[in-house]
């Protein structure tokens, strides 16, 4: 009997704040980071499970500590018992009666559970010899339902209803998988629209995105209305009326501010407004959606399936944006895909950061093949950053993600990338003395970003 | 100029799971714990700031790591700059643009910010020579409003409205403070009602509580309806019709299950039902409140002020239960007290655990003196556990908390208690080999609590 032998965790950070890549109204200086986990086994096939939680710098070490706290659930476990019952693993990790106090089911502890659950899925898919999306799509409706934790969901979705949705999507799985391999899955790009970029860079990147085959781009907004109107006009003129321009306020606004602001920006026909206010504010999103004309998108910071349930019940969203590493991994995202299917709302995953494109493409593709059964009105975010660090990087051509073919969850970072970016002792950081030592208290006149 | 010199953090745990103390439908075996922080200064007055985050065992180390991640915001800071602008400290800790990704404003990172904010308040109150409740009640309405972060609150409460509420409560502050010193603040006790107790122990403790002067007690419910009916009948018979019996389901139920269950338990005239379902389920609480006759209480697991805002907006709660260490400290609880006052809903704080009674009494007493202006329909939870570890323990007599008189926030644990219970190296834990080593994976047949 083979076993999981080790749970290795790495604090990996990229100094992205040096180039304003990823800057938005709430996140002026992110250092894209990963609390990265490797599950090792004593099986002779040599497969490892790789997973991670994406963060934006400070605090990545806290997620590392939270992943380490889960080690007793894995180290020494029989390998087959884990990979043949990933629903059980998911439940054990999220319902440990003591760890649960740290959420419940939200924040650092939940994200850590997600990293570990995803690493276990990477391992299971490798053992099955399939890319994760195809492995998931090979499971029966009954097997898929057994993966979901329906606790606190049943007023919106029962196991029986979930089974019905999955059975209804069973015919045509093979046809859709073939279509996916043939034409890929639609992508949109956020690369042009970061707040820190100049007008020239913004326009040039927007034109380039259209030339590259993207039919949707996204701009960050929310810091200054005049600037937003100016930038949106520039981009609309540059790309013409046919290209969709989505907007992202990154939680910046009060509820009424969002309504006012979007009534003005609506003149340029935005495709959606993303995170107009606090990600916890379900009633606020419903209010914004009801009082201005632009569709509302949210989810990358929604803490768990219970928040998504309410966003759908309150008719607060037009677009559900799942994130691969904020909720508790594949299992919880499966619950959210099923909820969205039940309510008939399209899922357009959040990606970018480091490795999020690699992960979330599998979930959207599985959704197409086995849950919603459609790519209509669906699109996966794409940001052209940091893919070179991955062994099986996401590939986007002509505005479409290509279907991954390598076994696993595409989560593996190159060993040399892990080694170079280990924080604080990897060479990339060793050579930046004092990077993390900038004083954050009032005496310095530099009070930390608001 | 004096400075904050050190931020010392301790992992302190009590082996409470050995006696079923604190057992409920979701938490069968808690080991009450504290991620404990001490702010030290070079000022000759020798004052320290003590604070902590309460947890129930595993994962306490993760909160310790999160508090350590906040050290750069404090170590080396000018002391006066910190204690004279605790609103600024609160905002810097909760809106660090990188750490914010770990929530935002929820879970481990937020609880860690709360521990540090509370320690800074302990220090400020000691320097002012007053117990925290009196120190807060000595601040002007303008000073109090400046302490609150109104981001994502203004659709329910503006700074101007908050100022109006505080000004309206200004007359009579001294009279109410005198009344508080004279007669204390009403308490209720949860000590009788833990699920793990036998019928005999339950009835004996309920009778004892009434004999001790309590007019309200609380029972844990939610594991088994027949058992709950049985236990509730026993206790109702033991205490008579006048004593309030509150019930606590600790998030156990689905929405419809809560409605069904409470329609049955309503026969015994419960005073409230606490946490009937997921603490994230605002719409679920509203549903339960509307469809069965027992008042709904919640809040000890509500992640932040934005969740409380919505519980009030959705008319989902009859009772707001603040917790001293789940949200970001005194400042965020001040926001929640103001929200509750605006909506006219009473605040009945959650306490128990380790040290929660000591902390939260200050917030309720301040609310009486300077915010709501009343003790009517208000009551602070009391559990008679672990107070012996505190230098200034909460004192309850004749069913009332006595007003603390020692300067500070009553947060300080005895040095010998800290030393004895340090995890895993303190003597209390050293002598329990393997306590933390119980296998949590499927191989053992002991899959961890559900």
User: What pLDDT, on the 0 to 100 scale, is given for residue B441?
Assistant: 54
Give every residue of chain A whose pLDDT is below 50, as ranges. 437-439, 443-450
User: What pLDDT, on the 0 to 100 scale, is given for residue B448?
Assistant: 34
Element (H or E) spanning B49, and its range?
strand B49-55
Q: Indicate yes or no: CB of B447 within 8 angstroms of CB of A280.
A: no
| CA-wise closest residue to B75 among B2, B1, B3, B126 | B3
Q: Indicate yes or no: CB of B88 within 8 angstroms of CB of A447.
A: yes
Tokens of A64: 């590392």
- Chain A residue numbers with beta carbons less than 8 Å from the beta carbon of B70 are none
The number of C-beta contacts closer than 8 angstroms across A and B is 277
User: What pLDDT, on the 0 to 100 scale, is given for residue B19?
Assistant: 74
Tokens of A416: 């040399």
Cα(B445)–Cα(B450) distance, rounded to whole angstroms? Answer: 13
- Please indicate whether residue B77 or residue B434 has the higher confidence score (pLDDT): B77
User: What pLDDT, on the 0 to 100 scale, is given for residue B449?
Assistant: 32
- Nearest by CB to B99, from A26, A59, A66: name it: A59
Mutate: best of A152, A220, A353, partner B, most B CBs <10 A: A152
- Chain A residue numbers with beta carbons less than 8 Å from the beta carbon of B112 are 62
A166 bridge partner residues: none
From A350, A362, A385, A389, active-site residue:
A350
Over the stretch A221-263, which tens digit does the pLDDT of each residue have? 999 999 999 999 999 999 999 999 999 999 999 999 999 999 9
Smallest CA–CA distance, residue B242 to chain A, in Å, is 34
B282, B311 contact by CB (below 8 A) = yes
User: What pLDDT, on the 0 to 100 scale, is given for residue A433?
Assistant: 63
Catalytic residue positions of B, numbered: 220, 350
Which DSSP state fits A380?
Answer: E
ipTM greater than cut 0.85: yes
Beta strands A396-397 and A400-401 are antiparallel
Half-sphere exposure of A51 (CA within 13 A, CB side): 31
Cα(A390)–Cα(A411) distance, rounded to whole angstroms? Answer: 7
Cα(B154)–Cα(B168) distance, rounded to whole angstroms? Answer: 20
Tokens of A262: 């979007």
Cα(A290)–Cα(A296) distance, rounded to whole angstroms? Answer: 10
Q: Indicate yes or no: CB of B96 within 8 angstroms of CB of A448.
A: yes
Q: Is A350 a catalytic residue?
A: yes
Q: Is A414 a catalytic residue?
A: no
Cα(B364)–Cα(B351) distance, rounded to whole angstroms? Answer: 11
Over the stretch B245-303, which tens digit does the pLDDT of each residue have? 999 999 999 999 999 999 999 999 999 999 999 999 999 999 999 999 999 999 999 99
Q: Indicate yes or no: CB of B109 within 8 angstroms of CB of A62.
A: yes
User: What pLDDT, on the 0 to 100 scale, is given for residue B437?
Assistant: 47
- Cα torsion through B92, B96, B102, B108, rounded to 10: -20
Q: Is the pLDDT of residue B404 over 80?
A: yes
Q: Indicate yes or no: CB of A88 within 8 angstroms of CB of B442.
A: yes
Smallest CA–CA distance, residue B213 to chain A, in Å, is 32
B433 pLDDT band, cuts 50/70/90, is low
Over the stretch B157-215, which tens digit does the pLDDT of each residue have? 999 999 999 999 999 999 999 999 999 999 999 988 888 789 999 999 999 999 999 99
- Chain B residue numbers with beta carbons less than 8 Å from the beta carbon of A97 are 26-30, 56, 448-450
Residues whose CB is less than 8 angstroms from the CB of residue A149 and which lie 6 or more positions away in sequence, other chains included: A87, A90, A91, A94, A95, A305, A331, A332, A335
Cα(B400)–Cα(B413) distance, rounded to whole angstroms? Answer: 22
From A47, A110, A220, A389, active-site residue:
A220
A228, A221 contact by CB (below 8 A) = yes
Tell me the torsion sign for CA atoms A160, A163, A167, A168. Answer: positive
Cα(B297)–Cα(B308) distance, rounded to whole angstroms? Answer: 12
Lowest mean pLDDT among A165-179, B371-385, B433-447: B433-447
Q: Indicate yes or no: CB of A448 within 8 angstroms of CB of B81.
A: no
Q: At what angle do helices A255-265 and A225-239 cross, to 10 degrees?
A: 40
Cα(B441)–Cα(B439) distance, rounded to whole angstroms? Answer: 6
A324, A363 contact by CB (below 8 A) = yes
User: What pLDDT, on the 0 to 100 scale, is given for residue A362?
Assistant: 98
- Cα torsion through B132, B134, B139, B144, rounded to 10: 50
Per-residue HEC secondary structure of A112-175 comes to HHHHHHHHHHHHHHHHHCCEHHHHHHCCCHHHHHHCCCCCCCCCCCCHHHHHHHHHHCCCCHHH
The three-state secondary structure class of B12 is strand
Over the stretch B201-232, which tens digit does the pLDDT of each residue have? 999 999 999 999 999 999 999 999 999 999 99
Mutate: best of B97, B223, B424, partner A, most A CBs <10 A: B97
User: What pLDDT, on the 0 to 100 scale, is given for residue B20?
Assistant: 62
Long-range contacts of the stretch A134-143 (C-beta < 8 A, 24+): A134/A177, A134/A369, A136/A330, A136/A334, A136/A362, A136/A366, A136/A370, A137/A173, A137/A177, A137/A365, A137/A366, A137/A369, A137/A370, A141/A166, A141/A167, A141/A170
- Nearest by CB to B107, from A74, A108, A278: name it: A108
Over the stretch B56-83, which tens digit does the pLDDT of each residue have? 999 999 999 999 999 999 999 999 999 9
Residues whose CB is less than 8 angstroms from the CB of residue A406 and which lie 6 or more positions away in sequence, other chains included: A131, A392
Helix, strand and coil percent figures for chain A, each rounded to 5:
45, 15, 40
User: What pLDDT, on the 0 to 100 scale, is given for residue A191?
Assistant: 83
CA angle at residue A48 from A44 to A50, to 5 degrees? 175
Quote the mean pLDDT of chain B: 94
B122 pLDDT band, cuts 50/70/90, is very high
Q: Indicate yes or no: CB of B108 within 8 angstroms of CB of A107.
A: yes
- Chain A residue numbers with beta carbons less than 8 Å from the beta carbon of B58 are 69, 96, 98-99
Smallest CA–CA distance, residue B315 to chain A, in Å, is 12
């Amino acid at each position: 009997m083979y076993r999981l032998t080790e749970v290795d965790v790495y604090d990996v950070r990229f100094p992205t704040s040096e180039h304003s890549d990823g800057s938005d109204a709430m996140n002026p200086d992110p250092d894209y980071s990963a609390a990265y986990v490797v599950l090792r086994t004593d099986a002779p096939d040599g497969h490892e499970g790789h997973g991670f939680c994406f963060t934006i710098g400070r605090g990545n070490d806290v997620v590392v500590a939270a992943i380490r706290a889960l080690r007793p659930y894995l180290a020494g476990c029989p390998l087959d018992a884990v990979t043949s019952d990933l629903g059980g693993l998911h439940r054990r990790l999220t319902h440990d009666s003591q760890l649960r106090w740290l959420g419940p089911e939200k924040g650092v502890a939940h994200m850590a559970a997600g990293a570990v659950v995803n690493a276990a899925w990477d391992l299971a898919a490798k053992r099955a010899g399939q890319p994760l999306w195809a492995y998931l799509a090979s499971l029966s409706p009954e097997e898929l339902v057994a993966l979901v934790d329906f606790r606190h969901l049943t007023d919106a979705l029962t196991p029986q209803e979930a089974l019905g949705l999955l059975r209804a999507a069973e015919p045509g799985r093979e046809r859709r998988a073939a279509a996916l391999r043939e034409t890929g899955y639609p992508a949109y790009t956020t690369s042009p629209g970061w707040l820190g970029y100049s007008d020239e860079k913004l326009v040039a990147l927007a034109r380039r995105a259209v030339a590259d085959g993207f039919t949707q781009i996204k701009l960050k907004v929310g810091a200054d209305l005049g600037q937003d109107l100016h930038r949106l006009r520039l981009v609309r003129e540059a790309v013409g009326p046919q290209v969709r321009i989505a907007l992202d306020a990154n939680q910046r606004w009060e509820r009424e501010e969002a309504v006012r602001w979007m009534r003005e920006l609506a003149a340029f026909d935005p495709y959606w407004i993303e995170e107009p206010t606090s990600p916890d504010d379900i009633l606020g999103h419903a209010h914004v959606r009801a009082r201005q004309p632009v569709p509302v998108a949210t989810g990358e910071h929604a803490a768990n399936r219970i928040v998504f349930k309410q966003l759908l019940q309150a008719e607060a969203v037009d677009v559900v944006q799942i994130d691969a590493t904020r909720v508790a991994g594949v299992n919880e995202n499966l619950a959210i895909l099923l909820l969205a299917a039940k309510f008939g709302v399209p899922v357009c995953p959040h990606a970018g950061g480091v490795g999020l494109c690699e992960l979330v493409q599998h979930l959207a593709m599985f959704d197409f093949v086995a849950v919603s059964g459609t790519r209509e009105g669906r699109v996966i975010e794409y940001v052209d950053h940091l893919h070179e660090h991955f062994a099986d990087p996401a590939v986007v051509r002509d505005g479409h993600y290509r279907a991954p073919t390598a076994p696993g969850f595409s989560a593996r970072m190159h060993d040399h990338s892990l080694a170079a970016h280990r924080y604080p002792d990897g060479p990339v950081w060793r050579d930046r003395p004092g990077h993390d030592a900038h004083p954050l208290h009032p005496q310095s006149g530099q009070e930390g970003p608001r």
